[in-house]
Amino acid sequence: MRLNKLELRNYRNYSELSLAFPNRLNIFLGENAQGKTNLLESIYVLALTRSHRTSSEQELIGWHEDFAQIKGRIERGTSELELELLLTKKGRKSKVNHIEQKKLSSYIGQLNVILFAPEDLSLVKGSPQMRRRFIDMELGQINPVYLYDLAQYQQTLKQRNLYLKQLSEKKQTDEIYLDILTEQLVDFGSKVLANRLQFIKKLEYWSNDLHSKITNQKETLAIQYDASIPIESEAVEAIRTVFMNELVKNRKREIFKGNTFLGPHRDDLIFMVNQQNVQTYGSQGQQRTTALSVKLAEIDLMKEETGEYPILLLDDVMSELDDSRQIHLLETIENKVQTFLTTTTLNHVKGKMTVHPDIFYVQQGQIERKET
């Protein structure tokens, strides 16, 4: 998979931009706050219709403008696709080959990207919410139906929590509607959980292999899915039975507290290095190596699931890694993945890759391309 061309209109600090990417490695070079990250973000938004930096689409639209537009020409196998995303104050429209896609699941997955930013090095020691978001964004690209089930789950959860609060405050007394919402929550939640469990098992396989190489076979990595309900099977029906039983057991407590305590929205991941919890007992180096292994594992996992390597977006992450981890990262992606990298200096890549990059100098939203 490759992005051959990117066009922007009124996107953040880019009023109009058109770039072609003939090579596999593309470096955006410049000082901070010039627009390098905005470029990577636009590719991410083109793929997933949302930003990793903000939940407000208004922030993506240029100052005093009514809309922002992102277009991309991508290459998948032997075919080319035209993707287009239009962002307005009223919402967004997505098109594939100039045909509007009404369903998100019809659009997401056309362009697969993996973003690696400095904050991803906190994947291990960060919040459970960060790890759940990581699962949702990566799994959603591989399996767009998962995004539908997750959206339905989140919508039902919101309705259920609102009704639990009304029951708690005695504004409602009828629990029949709660039964209906619980059925729906369990239905969608069981599908979400089943897909997550299968994804984590595959991610663990690829991550452990990479982690072993980075640590010269000194460490093994295991990833455990820490569910808020006792799961013994990956089968949807088995999960459904357990989930329903647990909600029934906790009903009085949930009504009293006015909140849903159990489900995918409360789950987490546990990373084990040499059978020790690296979140609790690991050094900063071990935590960073684990995060790097997990992020790079997505490359081969996506290839296995979709038949295409994803595009890799590296947002100023090289400066956060020591020489050894930089080399392992570059060796993993070389000649395999189209990569877009932002940096303030070329020192991190000089002499470490055989691939010749295209270098784009970024200054105050203006870009000058240097051929190498």
Q: Which residues make up each annotated binding site? A: 30-37
* Sheet-wide strand order for 276-277: 221-226, 268-273, 276-277
Indicate the DSSP class of residue 317. -
Evaluate whether 46 touches 111 at the Cβ level (below 8 Å): yes
Q: How do beta strands 311-315 and 14-20 pair?
A: unpaired
Taking the C-alpha atoms of residue 166 and residue 177, their distance in angstroms, rounded to an integer, is 12
Evaluate whether 299 touches 309 at the Cβ level (below 8 Å): yes
Taking the C-alpha atoms of residue 43 and residue 84, their distance in angstroms, rounded to an integer, is 11
DSSP sequence for 96-119: ETTEE-SSHHHHTTSS-EEEE-GG
Nearest CA-CA partner of 281 in 292, 289, 273: 273
DSSP sequence for 42-84: HHHHHHHSS-SS-S-GGGGBPTT-SEEEEEEEEEETTEEEEEE
Indicate the DSSP class of residue 235. -
SS3 124: coil
Place of tokens 């997750």: 150
Binding site residue list for ATP: 30-37
SS3 225: strand
Beta bridge partners of 259: none
